[in-house]
């Protein structure tokens, strides 16, 4: 059976981008067709300046939101990365097959390092090596597929390169995985700056819809979304990024094709209103289920405990095999 691995970073509150680009597909499609492993990748949250209590809180919140989004612990393995030692164990071995040059070429590193430098003067070494840890996350489980948003494509390519290189040098050890992504909304853009992705760690939340936003806040943010000059509703990601982003969000939220939908609108206002309504309806069940789950914290705790146990069983044989293969 196909094995799937994917994760979310607890660096901020989960966004509509995370939901449409990844989580919804995991819950609605992936876990029903494949052997699925989903992880709150908390070690990755330490790659930038962090508050320990906040990371702990956000990890729990992310796990609760994954359950609220429909991840079913009877079907999928759900756990927190730091509860399973195999990730860090394997990451070190992969650092021994990766080169510093290929790390420095990663787009996310090139984008984030200057921001960290401007903030605090230094860049954590773990920010540079983070894609190696991500490769370890994926390879430890022998995943065939990694369902992610478009921004993670390069890191999955790196994972493939490292797997192939390790296998060639030390013998067949890892499955070489491939990235999969949704057809629509694989890259949801910021509502205030539609040339950059809706990212949970952005400073200002005005252009970001969070999964736990109240309906009023969702409506306000979408109604105030920056649109393009001109008034015609056309789908053209290159030249009309603001309107195209709304069309993608609408299409992904209620089904349909962004290009087809564009024909149904004569004004930006009507498009915004329908998009806001669709997103409010999309998020309503998630918020309601989340509200129930926070009242039952022992349930979430038990899911994560059992998930970590299962994840250890799944990953240990592959990581042990990698230790033997490399000469330890
Ligand atoms: P981020 O901190 O950028 O939200 P994560 O690594 O936690 O990054 O993202 C979790 C998943 O959500 C990944 O598969 C990522 O590709 C996807 N994702 C993140 N932001 C977006 C976005 N704006 N549009 C589509 N998918 C996204």
- 18 C-alpha to center of ligand 1: Å? 5
Could you report the predicted ipTM of this complex, rounded to two decimals?
Answer: 0.98
Residues 117 and 220 in one domain: no
Residues 71 and 199 in one domain: no
Question: Burial, 113: exposed, middle or buried (Cβ in 10 Å; 0-12, 13-18, 19+)?
Answer: middle
Other beta carbons within 10 angstroms of residue 266's beta carbon come to: 11
Out of 200, 220, 221, 272, which one is annotated catalytic?
A: 200
Residues 75 and 174 in one domain: yes
Residue 30: CATH number of its domain: 3.40.50.620
Residues 84 and 211 in one domain: no
Residues 103 and 167 in one domain: yes
Residues 24 and 76 in one domain: yes
Residue 310, CA distances (Å) to 79, 119, 186, 306 in order: 9, 39, 30, 6
Residues 9 and 120 in one domain: yes
Digit-by-digit pLDDT tens for the chain (328 residues) are 999 999 999 999 999 999 999 999 999 999 999 999 999 999 999 999 899 999 999 999 999 999 999 999 999 999 999 999 999 999 999 999 999 999 999 999 999 999 989 987 899 999 999 999 999 999 999 999 999 999 999 999 999 999 999 999 999 999 999 999 999 999 999 999 999 999 986 667 899 999 999 999 999 999 999 998 888 999 999 999 999 999 999 999 998 999 999 999 999 999 999 999 999 999 999 999 999 999 998 999 999 999 999 999 999 999 999 999 999 9
Residues 211 and 311 in one domain: no
Mutate to test the pocket of ligand 1, among 137, 149, 248 (most ligand atoms within 8 A of CB): 149
Residues 86 and 25 in one domain: yes
**N-to-C CA span, the chain:** 31
Other beta carbons within 10 angstroms of residue 167's beta carbon come to: 16
The number of distinct structural domains making up the chain is: 2
pTM exceeds 0.90, yes or no: yes
- Closest atom of ligand 1 to 150 CA is 16
Domain that holds residue 238: 185-294
- 140 C-alpha to center of ligand 1: Å? 21
Residues 169 and 305 in one domain: yes
């Amino acid at each position: 059976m196909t094995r799937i691995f994917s994760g979310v970073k607890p660096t901020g509150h989960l966004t509509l981008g995370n939901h449409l680009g990844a989580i919804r597909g995991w819950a609605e499609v992936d876990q029903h067709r494949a052997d699925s492993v989903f992880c709150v990748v908390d070690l990755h949250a330490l790659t930038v300046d962090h508050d320990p209590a906040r990371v702990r809180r956000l990890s729990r919140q992310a796990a609760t939101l994954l359950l609220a989004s429909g991840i079913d612990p009877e079907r999928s393995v759900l756990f927190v990365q730091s509860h399973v030692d195999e990730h860090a164990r394997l990451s070190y071995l992969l650092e021994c097959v990766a080169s510093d040059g290929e790390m420095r070429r990663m787009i996310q590193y090139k984008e984030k390092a200057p921001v960290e430098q401007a903030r605090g003067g230094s860049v954590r070494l773990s920010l540079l090596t983070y894609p190696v840890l991500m490769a370890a996350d994926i390879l430890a489980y022998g995943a065939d597929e990694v369902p992610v948003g478009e921004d993670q494509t390069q890191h999955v390519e790196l994972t493939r390169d490292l797997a192939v290189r390790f296998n060639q040098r030390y013998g067949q050890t890892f499955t070489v995985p491939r990235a999969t992504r949704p057809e629509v909304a694989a890259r949801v853009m910021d509502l205030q700056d539609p040339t950059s992705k809706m990212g949970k760690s952005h400073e200002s939340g005005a252009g970001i819809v969070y999964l736990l936003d109240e309906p009023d806040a969702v409506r306000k943010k979408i109604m105030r979304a920056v649109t393009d000059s001109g008034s015609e509703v056309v789908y053209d990601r290159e030249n009309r990024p603001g309107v195209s982003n709304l069309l993608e969000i609408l299409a992904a939220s209620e089904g349909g094709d962004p290009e087809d939908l564009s024909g149904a609108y004569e004004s930006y206002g009507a498009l915004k209103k329908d998009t806001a309504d669709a997103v409010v309806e999309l998020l309503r069940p998630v918020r309601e289920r989340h509200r129930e789950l926070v009242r039952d914290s022992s349930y979430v705790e038990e899911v994560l405990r059992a998930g970590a146990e299962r994840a250890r069983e799944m990953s240990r044989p592959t990581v042990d095999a990698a230790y033997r293969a490399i000469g330890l």
